[in-house]
Structure 1
Amino acid sequence: MKNCNIVKDLMPLVAENIASEESSNLVKKHIETCSECKIVWDSINDNEYTDAFESEAIPIKNARDKINTYRKKSNIVIGLLITYILLIIFQFLTRPVLLPADKAILDFEIKGEDIVLTLSSEVAGISLSGMESDPDNKKEGYSLMAWTNRINKYMPNRSEAKYLIENPKSKLIYYISDNDVDIILGEHNKSSNRATLPRLALSYYLKLAGFVFLITALIAAFTKIKWFKYPATFSFSYIITHFLVVGTKTATYQMTKDFLIILVLSLILSMALVMFYKQRSTI
């Protein structure tokens, strides 16, 4: 009789496949030799018993569903954080470092209507912007930048490369390196008195993010308007990401690219933090 009571207690769990393998084997072996328990086991398919069992099993189901949901959300949070870290590492390794003209451009030559530049093995990327006017000599020319990065230094079989400028409208090319501008192709290959300054807008965005974080965090902490935690989380993520991407410097020659990278990474980090907060609050 004692075994029968234990088996009857285990039957609902076995029927719902939430019992252990040992418990399932115990029930199956017992009902093969106990006709009374066999009747109870068969009655599980009856509506009356099933409804009663479902009512009793609701807490178990709810607990199991909560555990599964918690695990899924935890996996999403971990995935977002891993993605964020990998992208930060990739950005760190590939972040452009401007090269001076003498280290980037080994030679140039005019072939018909085209210009061919010989780039050194240190160059990882190059960009040629549109025509702009030189206030010194009232002539128009192009702006050229070449850069390296941390990962390029470890690339095997690095060699010189050719860069073709097809049928340029001007033979005057200004090479930009930090705050200096050199004429690498033009009138007697002389240096220019021009200076190209980096964009400083990232500093304003950083200050704005700090202001938004301070205001929204205080409102969320001392009022019942809890949705302010979302802009607070995003602005906090922006501040952290800014320093991880560009460091303490806010000057950049690639304003649009840097801003978009910071924005996307901030969104990923803020999503992970919001999901983490929600999970902690439900525990």
Structure 2
Amino acid sequence: MKNCDIVKDLLPLYKENLLSQESEKYVEDHLKTCKECENILKEDIKIENKNTKPLDFVEKRIKKETRYFTLAVLALIGSILIFIISYLNTPRHIEYEKDLYKVYRSDDIYTVEFSPKVSGIDYTDTEDATYLDAYTTKYDEIFNKNMPKKAIVFHKDKLKTVLYQNHESMPKMVIGSGEVRQTLLPRLVFSLYAWISIIGFFVIAFAIFLQEKLRKKSLSLPIKTLLIGGPLSLFLGIISIKGLNTPTYYPITDFKYIVILSLGIYLFLIFLSLAREQKRM
């Protein structure tokens, strides 16, 4: 029995190959004749092998957490880049000023040529008139200061009254005659979307709160983010692109940047919630 006590004390060192040759031989000789000590050694090895499975599980969780966190960072960087691109390329209306445009007449056409500061021309046809809208962008103001002049041509046989659309005052007559009494109003669609998104956010958040209170069971963070992240991302996208002044004269351009930015914010919130969930687990 005394020898067994000695061998049991030596077994941990034996497994780690930390014994001298003489001690190792002593343990091996003892194991050949003692089933009890041999079984202890085998049981310790089995326990050790079983304990590696939770460690493998933890390692996989850590890898998932790292992966989701990396995706969240990439989505955040993408959202920031989209915001910068939208800031540089969003149309900025130019109110009428002297020498903003010149009108050239020939036998069959009118040509309206704008100054080099104009990046692009937008126009809207109504039943009675055509409204011109010249704009610039921050990108062109910084990097394209010597732009070629923009122009638009009107055929006399299809000509309506042509007005230059001001956003802060009545339109300016470009081609035609008479008194100007009408103007185009900005689109209010993004104001509606902003209200719907923020109301939707609070309604879904309240529904989640009630569900957790009644069932006394909390939803996981990724599920909550999946549900309330959509309306929240849309609201943040609208505010980021339009600010508090949501009416727009350029709905297509604004809509494009709002959708892309909202998607980037939504992916960021989802991946971040998944990373936090993996870390908690």
Q: Percent identity?
A: 19
Among 175, 179, 189, the residue aligned to 1:185 = 175
Q: State the shift of 1:77 in Å.
A: 0.6
Q: State the shift of 1:129 in Å.
A: 3.0
Q: Equivalents in 2 of 1:202, 1:104: separation in Å?
A: 33
Q: Equivalents in 1 of 2:102, 2:252: separation in Å?
A: 30
Among 134, 156, 166, the residue aligned to 1:146 = 134
CA 167–54 in structure 1, closer or farther in 2 if over 3 Å, else same = farther
CA 206–69 in structure 1, closer or farther in 2 if over 3 Å, else same = same
Write the mapping of 1:250-269 to structure 2, written as runs, cut at 5 A.
250-269=246-265
Q: Equivalents in 2 of 1:74, 1:199: separation in Å?
A: 39
CA 100–238 in structure 1, closer or farther in 2 if over 3 Å, else same = same
Deviates more, 1:221-230 or 1:265-274: 221-230
Counterpart of 2:127, as a letter, is S
Q: State the shift of 1:219 in Å.
A: 1.6
Deviates more, 1:116-125 or 1:77-86: 116-125
Query: Corresponding residue for 1:197?
Result: 185
Residue 72 (1) aligns with residue 61 (2): no
CA 173–162 in structure 1, closer or farther in 2 if over 3 Å, else same = same
Q: Equivalents in 2 of 1:162, 1:242: separation in Å?
A: 30
Counterpart of 1:124, as a letter, is S
Q: State the shift of 1:52 in Å.
A: 9.4
Residue 122 (1) aligns with residue 117 (2): yes
Query: Corresponding residue for 2:161?
Result: 172
Query: Corresponding residue for 1:208?
Result: 196
Query: Corresponding residue for 1:281?
Result: 277
- CA displacement 1:139-163 (0-9 Å, x = unmatched): xx32211111222221244145142
Q: Equivalents in 2 of 1:272, 1:129: separation in Å?
A: 37
Among 195, 198, 218, the residue aligned to 2:206 = 218
Q: State the shift of 1:133 in Å.
A: 2.1
Residue 88 (1) aligns with residue 83 (2): yes
Q: State the shift of 1:111 in Å.
A: 4.2
Structure 2 length as normaliser, TM-score?
0.72
Counterpart of 1:172, as a letter, is T
How many residues are aligned here? 237
Q: State the shift of 1:54 in Å.
A: 6.6
CA 145–157 in structure 1, closer or farther in 2 if over 3 Å, else same = closer
- CA displacement 1:237-283 (0-9 Å, x = unmatched): 22222221111112111224323422332222122112212321332
Q: Equivalents in 2 of 1:191, 1:71: separation in Å?
A: 66
CA 162–210 in structure 1, closer or farther in 2 if over 3 Å, else same = closer
Counterpart of 2:272, as a letter, is F
Q: State the shift of 1:232 in Å.
A: 1.8
- CA displacement 1:43-88 (0-9 Å, x = unmatched): xxxxxxxx99875532332222222222111111111011101111
Query: Corresponding residue for 1:40?
Result: none
- CA displacement 1:14-42 (0-9 Å, x = unmatched): xxxxxxxxxxxxxxxxxxxx99xxxxxxx
Structure index of larger Rg: 2
Q: Equivalents in 2 of 1:260, 1:154: separation in Å?
A: 23
Report the 3-state secondary structure (helix = DSSP H, G, I; strand = E; otherwise coil) of the residue aligned with 1:212: helix
- CA displacement 1:81-140 (0-9 Å, x = unmatched): 11101111221222222112336733121345343332212212212333x223xxxxxx
Residue 133 (1) aligns with residue 127 (2): yes
Report the 3-state secondary structure (helix = DSSP H, G, I; strand = E; otherwise coil) of the residue aligned with 2:182: coil
Report the 3-state secondary structure (helix = DSSP H, G, I; strand = E; otherwise coil) of the residue aligned with 2:196: helix
Query: Corresponding residue for 1:113?
Result: 108
